[in-house]
């Protein structure tokens, strides 16, 4: 037994650089898989999360909206009951920068359906959503779809502040592009899918 311990100790001493490297790599992978990036929002106080969530929409909307925040267990909890039907949350994609969003009832249902993986939204009317700090999307080969994020080689793009009309839109029928470009400040995201919607590049804070 003593001999085995000595052999193991010598192996560790000889391979410390290798072991440290592997440990760091494993720690990095585990951190990402555990959703460590979410700590940015989870570590905020409830008051700061409320302020962050409210920043998604024009103040005259967000001040009376229901606010959901992230609890200590990582689950969303209601921090404030609203009166106007809108719901705001402090973060969407758990990236290094929070991307708060505020939605009306139809928009909240649309988002809930998308997050639940339903094949199409169960809403019957278009929804409205605001993202005053912008957000993130993934593109590949000039396309943006609900599943692009999972495809190898997909490129993450940081989006600008905008608001959305969450209803079925068709780029050909509307003569709008299916990708953002310099000519238009409006485009159809997820074109050709049940979750297609209109992206409008206008800062929600400028809306009256």
Lowest mean pLDDT among 17-26, 98-107, 162-171: 17-26
End-to-end, the C-alpha distance of the chain in Å comes to: 77
At residue 183, the pLDDT reads: 81
Q: Supply the pTM of this predicted model.
A: 0.77
Same domain, 105 and 173: yes
Instruction: Assess whether 29 and 56 both reside in one domain.
Output: no
Quick check: helix, strand or coil at residue 197? Answer: strand
Residues 101 and 72 grouped into a single domain: yes
Looking at residue 14, what is its pLDDT? 42
Please give the tally of structural domains in the chain: 2
The answer to whether the Cα torsion of 159, 161, 164, 169 is positive or negative is: negative
Segments forming the whole domain that contains residue 194: 41-206
Q: Are residues 191 and 100 in the same domain?
A: yes
**CA dist 83 → 26, 64, 78, 88 (Å):** 47, 6, 13, 12
Residues 124 and 179 in one domain: yes
Summarize pLDDT for 40-81 with one digit per residue, the tens.
687 899 999 999 999 999 999 999 999 999 988 888 899 999
- Tell whether 53 and 24 lie within a shared domain: no
pLDDT at 138: 93
DSSP codes, 65-76: SEEEEE-TTS-E
Question: What is the distance between the alpha carbons of residues 174 and 144, in angstroms, rounded to a whole number?
Answer: 17
In this predicted structure, what is the pLDDT of residue 205?
83
Please tell me whether residues 157 and 135 are part of one structural domain. yes
Whether 122 and 198 share a structural domain:
yes
- What pLDDT, in 10s, does the model give residues 115-169? 999 999 999 999 999 999 999 999 999 889 888 888 999 999 999 999 999 999 9
């Amino acid at each position: 037994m003593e001999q085995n311990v000595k052999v193991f100790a010598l192996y560790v001493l000889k391979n410390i650089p290798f072991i440290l490297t592997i440990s760091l790599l494993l720690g990095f992978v585990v951190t990402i898989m555990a959703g460590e990036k979410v700590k940015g929002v989870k570590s905020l106080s409830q008051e700061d999360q409320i302020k962050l969530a409210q920043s998604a929409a024009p103040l005259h909307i967000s001040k009376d909206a229901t606010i959901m925040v992230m609890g200590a267990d990582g689950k969303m909890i209601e921090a404030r009951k609203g009166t106007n039907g809108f719901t705001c949350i402090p973060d969407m994609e758990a990236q290094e920068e929070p991307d708060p969003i505020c939605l009306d009832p139809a928009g909240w249902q649309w988002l809930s359906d998308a997050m639940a993986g339903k094949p199409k939204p169960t809403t019957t009317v278009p929804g409205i959503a605001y993202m005053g700090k912008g957000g993130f999307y993934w593109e590949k080969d000039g396309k943006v779809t609900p599943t692009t994020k999972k495809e190898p080689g997909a490129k993450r793009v940081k989006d600008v502040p905008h608001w959305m009309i969450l209803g079925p839109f068709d780029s050909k029928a509307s003569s709008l592009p299916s990708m953002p470009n310099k000519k238009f400040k409006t485009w159809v995201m997820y074109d050709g899918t049940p979750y297609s919607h209109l992206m409008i590049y206008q800062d929600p804070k400028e809306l009256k």
